[in-house]
Amino acid sequence: MNKTLKILVYLKKRSGYTNGPLPVYLRVTFDSQRMEGTTQREMDGMLYDKSQKVLPMMRVN
């Protein structure tokens, strides 16, 4: 039986956001069961690379 695991790390923008740190959220999906929550970390929204949809800490050189 095949099992699927997906992990998504993203910044959650609040309404009225102009600049400053944003909370980093984590979504884990395992066999269509989704769990989502905060990582208790924040990151400047300007550092997020929208073209590659990746956070700077996730880049692999």
- Does residue 18 sit within a domain? yes
Does 55 reside within a domain?
A: no
User: What's at 41, amino acid-wise?
Assistant: R
Instruction: Flag whether 58 is in a domain.
Output: no
In a domain, 59, yes or no: no
**Based on the structure, what is the number of domains in the chain?**
1
Residue bearing tokens 């910044």: 11
How far is it, in rounded angstroms, from Cα 57 to Cα 30?
23
Q: What is the pLDDT of residues 29-61, one digit of tens each?
A: 999 899 999 888 888 777 766 666 666 655 444
Indicate if the pLDDT at residue 28 is higher than 80: yes
Confidence at residue 49, expressed as pLDDT on a 0 to 100 scale? 63
Q: Is residue 57 part of a domain?
A: no
Residue 20 lies in a domain: yes
| Residue 34 structural domain | 5-50
Q: What's the mean pLDDT in 1-25?
A: 83
pLDDT (0 to 100) of residue 35: 94
pTM to 2 decimal places: 0.67
